[in-house]
Structure 1
Amino acid sequence: MKFTENKLEQSFTELLAQEGYPHSLGNTLQRQIDEVLIESDLHGYLSSRYANQGLTDTEIKSIILELKSLPASDLYESNKRFMKMLSDGFILKREDHSQKDIYIQLIDYTGLEKYKYSAEELITIVADIEEEYIPEDKNIYRFVTQLEIYGSEKRIPDGIVYINGLPLVLFEFKSAIREDATIFNAYNQLTVRYRRDIPEVLKYNAFCVISDGVNNKAGSLFAPYEFYYAWRRIAGQPNEVDGIDSMFTLIQGMFHKNRLRDVIRNFIFIPDTGKKEEKIVCRYPQYYAARALFENIKKAQKPLGDGKGGTYFGATGSGKSYTMLYLTRLLMKSEHFGSPTVVLITDRNDLDDQLSKQFINARTFIGDNTVESVESRADLREKLQGRQSGGVFLTTIQKFTGDTELLSERTNVICISDEAHRSQINLDQKIRITESGVTKSFGFAKYLHDSLPNATFVGFTGTPIDATLDVFGQEVDA
C-alpha cells in the first residue's frame, strides 16, 4: 500500500479512534486564532478532577495563565519546566490562604499503579487484588487535524494529540510516493519550520511522530533525526515488525492510553543541566525492559521473594544506562517500595564514571536529591547507616573486598549491577594452599550479598553466562 498524506492522516485518525482518541477538526474548536491550548478541555478537566477540594474558577484560570506565560522565546527551558509540571505535578497555593494547598496533576495518572506488566508476555493486566478498584480514565483525549496556528507564519500541523487541552504530541506526515517529500522532510518541518514559526505549540510538546506510512518513528523535538525510533512491538507480540506494520504497533503500543500516560510520566528524560538541548524519549525495548524488571523486583523482594530481581540482556548500543535510569525512577516513585535505596554497581571505573555523570545529572528525574558516587566501602557504610529510605549510590564491585560487615538489613534496597558477569557473580569460596597454610576467600559478589542480605539484586549484561542467571534470576526481557 502506498500512502498519500491525506490517506496517512485518515489512517492515523482511524487507528487513534480505535484507541479512544476522538477526532476533531481544527475549525470546530472554540479558541482564538493565536491560541494553542483547548482551554475548555483543560478547565473542564481541572474543575472535575479537583471538585472535592473546591478548586475555584479563579484558581483554574491562574493555572492556565501560568502555562500560557511560559516564554516561547526560550523554548527548551520552557518545555523543560512544562514537562516537570506534567510528569511530577505541582503545588497550587490557594486563593484563600486559610485552605490547604492542592497538589495539581495536569494529567490524571490514577490507576497506573494498579496495573502491572507481565514479564512473560509484556502485557498490561489488572492487578491480582480483585477488590482493588481501578478508576476510570477521566482524562480528555482528542486527535486534532487541520488546526491553523498563527505565529510568525501560519502553519497547519498534520495532527496533534491533545490530553486535557494540552497539545502533547505533534504528527507530521509525508507521502512515501513523493520523491521530494521524505520522512526526513517531516522531521525538518517539525524541528526547523514549526520551531521557528509556531514555537507556542511546542512549549507543551512531549514528543513528535513522523511518518510516511512505511517508516513510522517517534522522538524528541530536540533530538537529532537518527534518534527517532520506531515502536516495533506491542503487548503480547514477541516479534518485532517493520514497514507498514510499524504504524499499527506505534499506535497500539505507544498510544495505548495507559502506556502513553506512563511514557509521559516516567520515560521522558531531561537532564538537570547541560551545554546542549537534550531530551530523551524512551525506545520500546527500554520501556518494556524497565517495566518488566520493575514487576519482577516486586515479586522477588524479600521476605516473600528470593531477592533475585532478574537479568536483562542488552547488546551494545541498546541504551542500557537509560533503561537503568527509567527503572530507577519507577522504583523511587513507586508507592509499593516506600522510597527505596538504589545501589548501582559496575565492574570498571570508566563505567562507574559514565553512570555517575548521567545519574548525578538526573536528580530531578529520579526524584531524589541524594544521588552520589561512593568512594569506598566505608563511605557506603556511612551513607547507609541510619538511612531508612531514599538515596541512589554508585560504586564499583571491587570496593567490596574481604569485609562482610552488615551495611543494611532493609528489604527495600535494590542493587542494580551493570556488566553483570565476571566479578559480579563470583559467590564461590576460593581455597589457596601456601607454605604458611590454607587461606579461604570469596569473590567480591559474596561480600556484597552478605553485606546487604535482604536486598534485591538485578543484573544488566551484554555477555550472558549461566552463572548470571543463578545470581540475578531469570531473564526478564531481551
Structure 2
Amino acid sequence: MGWRHLQGDIDVPYLTERGSFREVLLLDRLRAAIRRINLDEVGRPWLDEARINEAVSILERLGAAKLMEANQIATDLLLRGTTVAGDPTRHGGREQTVRFIDFDHPECNDFLAINQFRADPPWATGESDFCVPDAVLFVNGIPLVVVECKSPAATDPLAEAIEQLLRYSNQREWVEEDEGIERLFHYNQIMVATWFYGARAAAVGASAEQYVEWKDTAPVPMAQVAAELGVERQSAQQILVAGVLRPAHLLDIVRNFTLFKQDAGKTVKIVGRYQQFRAVHAALHRLQTGQTRLQTGDQDGRGGIIWHTQGSGKSLTMVFLVRKLRTLPDLRRFKVVVVTDRQDLEKQLSQTAALTGETVRKATSIEKLKELLAEPGADLVFAMIQKYQGQESALRMRDLEEEGRPFGSEELFPVLNESPDMLVRR
C-alpha cells in the first residue's frame, strides 16, 4: 500500500528514531524530507542546515495552548508551508516558501508506520506514566494518523478503541486532569478506531458518535484492491485502509477534504466522508474526460447529478469540489457558479463556501449577475434562480405561451461568456 513499517519499542527511544520519548516528530526524517522536496528552479536542493532548522522549529513551536487551535495552526503549516530567508545569490534575499509535504507528488514523500509507539506526556515522572498508541503513521516524520486496535473478543471493541483515542488526546471532557499525550495530536489528521471485523475514522476532537465507516475504496476500484490484497471480499478494516490510508488518498484528504469552522465558539475540525470523496472524484473525472458542447455539437458531456439525502453534507461536497478544482492545473481556471432557489439556502451555502478560502461573490441583481458571469477568470459566484426569472422574463414567457411559441424561440438572454471553463452547481 506504500507504507514502510518500523517495529516500536517502549524501552529505547532511538529505536523509533527519537532522542526522547517526549518527542513526537521524527526529526531526522523531517529534515531529510524538507531538504529533498524543496528544490530550486533547476530541480536541486538549496536549503542549508540553518534554514531547515528554522522551518523545523516553526513546526515544533506552534504557539497555541489548546489542542484544536494547535491542530489548526499545524494543519495550515502542512498545507501552506512556512517562509525562510532566501539565498542571497539565488533569490536576492527574498523570502522563500518551505514545504513540509509535497502534495503534488505523493511519491516524493516518506511514509512510515510505527506500531506500539510510546509517547510520554510532559508530566510523566515514572516508567508507567506513558501512552502507547497501537500504530502511528508518519508522513515525512510528522504523525498524521493515530490508530487504536482492539480485540474482537472485547465486549464493545469500537467503544473501547474510541475511548482510548479520546484519553490519549485529552478529549474526555469529564476528566479534569490531563491524562494523555496531547502534543502527538497537534499534527493529527485522521483518528482510526479498529478491530478485526470493522473500522471507523474521524477527525481529532470528534465525539464517539462522529466516528464513521469508510465504505468504498474509490477512486481505486474495489476489485483492484481485492486483487492487491489477494482476497475475494474486503473487510471493513481493509476498505478503510485502502480508501483512506493509501498514501495518495491520505494526502488528498488532508489537502482538499479537511477544514475548520467555528461552532458555538469552539473550533471544530471536519474531514470529508467516503461518499463526498467518491462524488468529488467522479465529478472531476467527468470534467476532465467529458466533451464540451463545441466538441459534440450538441450536449455538454461534463455535467451530472450527485444524489444527496437531506443533511448528508451537500454543501461541504461543494466546498471540497472547489478546493480540489483549484489544485488541478487543467481545472483550476474554472469559474464556479452556484445557483440556489431560496434566500436562506443562499446564505447557508455562501457561508459554507467561504471555507474554501476563496472570496464568494454574490449577485445582488440581474445586472450584477450578468457582470459577474461575463468577467473572465476563475472565481466563485452565487446567484438565486429568481435573478434569471425577473418580472420582465416572466411576462415574456406568458406572452410566448399565449402566442403558441415555445420559450426559447427567441433570445431572451444574451451570451455573456463563451468560455467552456464554467461549472454551474444547482
TM-score by length of 2: 0.80
Which one-letter code corresponds to 1:84 in the other structure? D
Secondary structure at the aligned position of 1:187 is classed as helix
Which one-letter code corresponds to 1:63 in the other structure? A
Secondary structure at the aligned position of 2:266 is classed as coil
| Separation in structure 2 between the aligned mates of residue 449 and residue 210 of structure 1, nearest angstrom | 56
User: Of the candidates 154, 164, 181, which is equivalent to residue 189 of structure 1?
Assistant: 164
The answer to whether the 8 A contact 1:404-1:451 is kept is: no
Match of 1:119 in 2: none
Please report how far the alpha carbon of residue 75 of structure 1 lies from its aligned counterpart in structure 2 after TM superposition.
1.7
Q: Deviations over 1:296-348 (max 9, x none)?
A: 12234644465342222222233211111111111223221343321111222
Q: Deviations over 1:268-323 (max 9, x none)?
A: 12237872221111111110110110121223464446534222222223321111
Secondary structure at the aligned position of 2:101 is classed as coil
Structure 1 residue 232 corresponds to structure 2 residue 207: no
Structure 1 residue 170 corresponds to structure 2 residue 146: yes
CA gap of 1:403–1:58, structure 2 versus 1, over 3 A, is farther
| Separation in structure 2 between the aligned mates of residue 371 and residue 208 of structure 1, nearest angstrom | 32
Match of 1:334 in 2: 328
Within 5 A, what are the aligned runs for 1:377-416?
Answer: 377-385=366-374, 387-401=375-389
Which one-letter code corresponds to 2:132 in the other structure? I
Secondary structure at the aligned position of 1:344 is classed as strand
Please report how far the alpha carbon of residue 189 of structure 1 lies from its aligned counterpart in structure 2 after TM superposition.
2.1
CA gap of 1:91–1:309, structure 2 versus 1, over 3 A, is farther
Match of 1:44 in 2: 32
CA gap of 1:324–1:404, structure 2 versus 1, over 3 A, is farther
Q: Deviations over 1:35-84 (max 9, x none)?
A: 10000100111122235251010111111111110145222112112112
Match of 2:261 in 1: 271
CA gap of 1:452–1:191, structure 2 versus 1, over 3 A, is farther
Please report how far the alpha carbon of residue 187 of structure 1 lies from its aligned counterpart in structure 2 after TM superposition.
1.8
Within 5 A, what are the aligned runs for 1:60-209?
Answer: 60-71=52-63, 73-94=65-86, 96=88, 98-111=92-105, 137-151=107-121, 152-153=123-124, 154-179=130-155, 182-195=157-170, 196=178, 197-209=180-192
Q: What is the aligned length? A: 384
Within 5 A, what are the aligned runs for 1:413-428?
Answer: none
Match of 1:293 in 2: 283
Structure 1 residue 55 corresponds to structure 2 residue 43: no
CA gap of 1:429–1:99, structure 2 versus 1, over 3 A, is farther
The answer to whether the 8 A contact 1:35-1:149 is kept is: yes
Match of 2:248 in 1: 258
Match of 2:127 in 1: none
Secondary structure at the aligned position of 1:309 is classed as coil
Match of 1:246 in 2: 236
Secondary structure at the aligned position of 2:187 is classed as coil
Farther-moved stretch of structure 1 (258-267 vs 155-164): 258-267
Please report how far the alpha carbon of residue 144 of structure 1 lies from its aligned counterpart in structure 2 after TM superposition.
0.9
CA gap of 1:43–1:398, structure 2 versus 1, over 3 A, is same
- Structure possessing the higher relative contact order (Cα contacts under 8 Å, 6 or more residues apart): 1
CA gap of 1:92–1:298, structure 2 versus 1, over 3 A, is farther
Please report how far the alpha carbon of residue 371 of structure 1 lies from its aligned counterpart in structure 2 after TM superposition.
1.1
Q: Deviations over 1:330-385 (max 9, x none)?
A: 1223221343321111222232122112112x1xxx242x2133222222233445
CA gap of 1:193–1:140, structure 2 versus 1, over 3 A, is closer
Structure 1 residues not aligned, in runs of 5+: 1-17, 113-136, 406-427, 461-478
The answer to whether the 8 A contact 1:215-1:244 is kept is: no
Structure 2 residues not aligned, in runs of 5+: 125-129, 171-177, 227-232
CA gap of 1:448–1:341, structure 2 versus 1, over 3 A, is farther
RMSD: 3.3
User: Of the candidates 197, 206, 230, which is equivalent to residue 214 of structure 1?
Assistant: 197
TM-score by length of 1: 0.72
Secondary structure at the aligned position of 1:156 is classed as coil
Structure 1 residue 312 corresponds to structure 2 residue 306: yes
